[in-house]
Amino acid sequence: MKERAGGILIHPTSLPGKYGIGTLGKEAFAFIDFLQRSKIKRWQILPLGPTGYGDSPYQCYSSKAGNPLLIDPELLCEEGLLTREELSGAVIHETGHVNYGEVIRQKIPLLEKAASRFDESAGKEHKQDLRYFIETNASWLNDYALFMAIKEYSQQKPWYQWKKELRLKKEEAIAPLSKSLKNRIEFHQFVQYLFFRQWSSLKDYANQCNIRIIGDIPLYVSLDSADAWANPEIFEFDANKNPVAVGGVPPDYFSETGQLWGNPLYDWNRMKGQKYSWWIDRIRFNLTLFDIIRIDHFRGFAAYWAVPFSEETAENGKWMPGPGKALFEAINQVLGDLPIIAEDLGVITPDVEDLRDSSGFPGMKILEFAFDSGEVSNFLPHTYIRNTVVYIGTHDNDTVKGWFGKASEKDREYALEYMNCTPETICSSMIRQAWASVSDLAIVPLQDLLELGSEARMNTPGTITNNWNWRCNVSAFSKTLEKRLVRLAKLYGRDS
């Protein structure tokens, strides 16, 4: 974690490709080659889980499962599980954005065909691999596959709208249904096998190229998730599995009414009694997927914003104490030193800073937050310490070009004077500021390297439509950009 390095933030869904969404296939491998040639040593992504309504990777059906839409059909074709004719019928015209509905309509039938052919065409070794995968991941995979099969059976309704006996996971209802849904349960297990096999291959290749992948863990799980349905005892649920309160954040920079996420809150007292075993298992699992983990909404471990379940905005919540140092001491005792980045943005109080610093985790600095001329900012580069990660912006920020165009005249003047640049060079100047800073790690979203406007923004907090769908095309990874990144890495010592 102490190595001086540069990184690019881009989720796999945003990579180029002809199937309507980025995948874990050849375009992802080509991107790693680009990173290596460019002297970029970190690739940061968003959560990899299966997304639901709104397509947010921060609201997934499972804290461990992978997103089936990221599976590369070309690799399945090479294994004899799909035909070229089938692939040609699934090509989606490039638009620069993911149409999730169309991708689902094209890709899920392909995965179903691949599953139907596996028994006939797969070799003995692959069949053994599948059995081993199912056995070793049974602790979460069985619940997830059952959850997804029942969700299909229930016309995709969230679990809290299922029939009462299914919602409460009554054995007398679950057992016979599991038998009748056996094929769909096995299908979802198989899809996860495909995902993790492709992801493992991609990560191994990245590591061989001396590139470390930064994954992302949301603090909370989605209410409509296998985790919440199958493990109600670790959440603040009433006897009918309804949330007592849900997660969010109070009014802030992003929203005047706060952000009402709707995630179930953890029962931290019960988790403490279980020696935080659920969290230890979650961190252990993610350390097999990623080299470094960014924990989103880290401040929630110190204190979290609890909003009564009946509220329609996050304004009327209250701060509740989190597990604090005890959680990370328990995790550290089992797993050792942790390669974690703390997302310490928002309402940051001394207890959050103490928790971050006592754990040794680097915090985050956002350059787009630095140039508020109305207040003293600790996001300005001259205030940094080494044990930080500087970002131009995150997935929740506008692009630099979009941000600059909407900033006040006073803030724009402040930014231009601080960086000694012009409006035309604002993007490149901000990247240079990050690379030149003392922070051990500097991360730039690909959109800002390409100097794109607000049309390329990944997410607008507080909204649920037109997010998470931006995509680049293969021309983004040009020789010109490659040479520019190499020069920056060498100039500011991020290439060794």
Q: Is 396 a catalytic residue?
A: yes
Q: Which one of the listed residues 27, 224, 343, 398 is annotated catalytic?
A: 343
Residue 250 token pair: 């109070």
3-state secondary structure of 321: strand
Is the distance from CB of 217 to CB of 62 less than 8 angstroms? no
Give, in degrees to the nearest 5, the angle at Cα 22 between 4 and 61: 90
- 363 bridge partner residues: 388
Residue 33 appears among annotated catalytic residues? no
Distance CA 493, CA 34 (A): 19
Calculate the alpha carbon distances from 80 to 49, 73, 93, 340, 483 in Å: 26, 11, 25, 40, 39
Q: Is 374 exposed, middle or buried (0-12, 13-18, 19+ CB in 10 A)?
A: exposed
Residues 423, 368: contact at Cβ < 8 Å?
Answer: no
Q: Is 119 a catalytic residue?
A: no
Determine the angle formed by the axes of helices 124-136 and 138-153, rounding to 10 degrees.
90
**Which amino acid is residue 489, in one-letter code?**
A
Residue 459: DSSP 8-state: -
Q: Count CB atoms within 10 A of the CB of residue 113.
A: 16
Catalytic entry in 27, 216, 296, 372: 296
> CB–CB of 360/386 below 8 Å?
no
Beta bridge partners of 40: none
At 328 the three-state DSSP class reads: helix
**Separation between Cα atoms, residue 298 and residue 43, nearest integer Å:** 21
- Residue whose structure tokens are 């599948």: 130
Residue 380 to residue 367: CA distance in whole angstroms: 7
Q: Choosing from 227, 396, 398, 448, which is the catalytic residue? A: 396
- Other C-beta atoms closer than 10 Å to the C-beta of 354 total 13
Catalytic residues: 296, 343, 396
